[in-house]
Amino acid sequence: MERKILVIEDEQNINDILSFQLSKEGYTTISALDGVSGLEMALTQNPDLILLDVMLPGLDGYEVCKKIREQSNVPIIMLTAREDEVDKVLGLELGADDYMTKPYSNRELTARIKANLRRSAVEPAPAAAPAESDANSVIISGDLTINTERYEVLKNDKVVDITLREFELLKFLAMQPDKIFSREKLLENVWGYEYYGDVRTVDVTVRRLREKIEDDPSMPKYIITKRGVGYYFNK
C-alpha cells in the first residue's frame, strides 16, 4: 500500500523538489505552503508521515507540531535551517519524532522517512482487557502495565497518551530490565539509524516519557539514569 506523505514547506521550489523526490521513491505526496493549511491537511487527509518546515507563514512549524500532537501521533520530521540546539530540542519537546537541518542529503532524508514509517507500521490495537494469549506480552511493574502487542501503556489502570517513539523506547528498556544502554545504543535500536553523535534526542524523549509515567519525573523510579553511561528500566 502506498504511504502518503504531507510536505509542509513554504518555499515553492523546495516543496516541489521534495514532492518529486518522494514520488520517485513510490510515495503519494500532498503539500501545503503555510502553517494554517498544513495543519488542516494534517488533521483531515490522514497522512502516514509529515515533513514540517519550522519557518512558515501563518503558524510556524512549532505551533503546527503542537496542535497536530493534540489530536494525532502521526510521525513528524521537522526541517530546519537553524543550527541552534535549543531550536531542535524545542521541536522534539513539542512532539516531533525527528528533525533534519538544512541542507541535508536526499539519501539521508529518505532513510529517516523509511525508519519513521517502519516504526509507525504497527498501529496500537483498540483498548481491551488482556487476553490469555497476551500474557507473555504484558510487562507489569508497580502501577505501570506495558502491553507490547497492543502498544498500550496503563498507569493505575488508566491509558497513558504516549507517542509511538516513546512507546518503542519504553518497550526496549522494559524488556531488558536493569540492563544499562548508552544513548548511542538506544539511537541504534529504537530510532533505527545513526544520528551522527546527536544523542540529545534520547534525553528529550526520556524526559517526555518520564513526565507521562513517573509520579515525580525529577525522582524517577522506572527509567533511571546511570550517570555518564546511559539509561535502564528499574523493574
For the stretch 65-109, pLDDT in tens is 999 998 998 999 999 876 666 677 788 888 888 888 888 888 888
Long-range contacts of 132-137 (CB under 8 A, 24+ apart): none
Looking at the predicted structure, is the pLDDT value of residue 181 above 90?
Answer: yes
Q: Domain end: 56, 84, 119, which one?
A: 119
The pLDDT, as a whole number, for residue 106 is: 85
In terms of DSSP bridges, do strands 181-182 and 223-226 run parallel, antiparallel, or are they unpaired? unpaired
For residue 94, which amino acid is it?
L
In the predicted model, what is the mean pLDDT of residues 192-210? Answer: 77
- pLDDT, tens only, 41-51: 999 999 999 99
Tally of domains within the chain: 2
Give yes or no: residues 115 and 190 share one domain: no
Residue 127 lies in a domain: no
- The CATH number for 65's domain is 3.40.50.2300
Q: How far is CA 163 from the centre of its chain?
A: 6
Give yes or no: residues 144 and 221 share one domain: yes
Give yes or no: residues 25 and 85 share one domain: yes
Residues paired with 79 in a beta bridge: 53, 100
The pLDDT, as a whole number, for residue 89 is: 75
Looking at the predicted structure, is the pLDDT value of residue 62 above 90?
Answer: yes
CA dist 48 and 46 (Å) reads 7
Give yes or no: residues 155 and 107 share one domain: no
Q: CB under 8 Å to 83, separation ≥6 — which residues?
A: 101
48: Cα within 13 Å, side-chain hemisphere: 20
Give yes or no: residues 224 and 142 share one domain: yes
Residue 178 lies in a domain: yes
Residue with cell 502495565: 145
Looking at the predicted structure, is the pLDDT value of residue 185 above 60?
Answer: yes
Look up the pTM and report it.
0.71
Cβ 139 vs Cβ 174: under 8 Å: yes
**Percent of the chain residues past pLDDT 70, beyond the cut:** 87
Joined grid coordinates for residue 152 = 498500550
Cβ 51 vs Cβ 19: under 8 Å: no
Residue 124 lies in a domain: no
CA angle 164, 214, 156 (to 5 degrees): 85
The pLDDT, as a whole number, for residue 134 is: 52
23: Cα within 13 Å, side-chain hemisphere: 9
Q: Could you tell me if residue 178 is left (phi over 0), alpha (psi between -120 and 50 degrees) or otherwise beta?
A: left
Q: Which domain holds residue 218?
A: 132-233
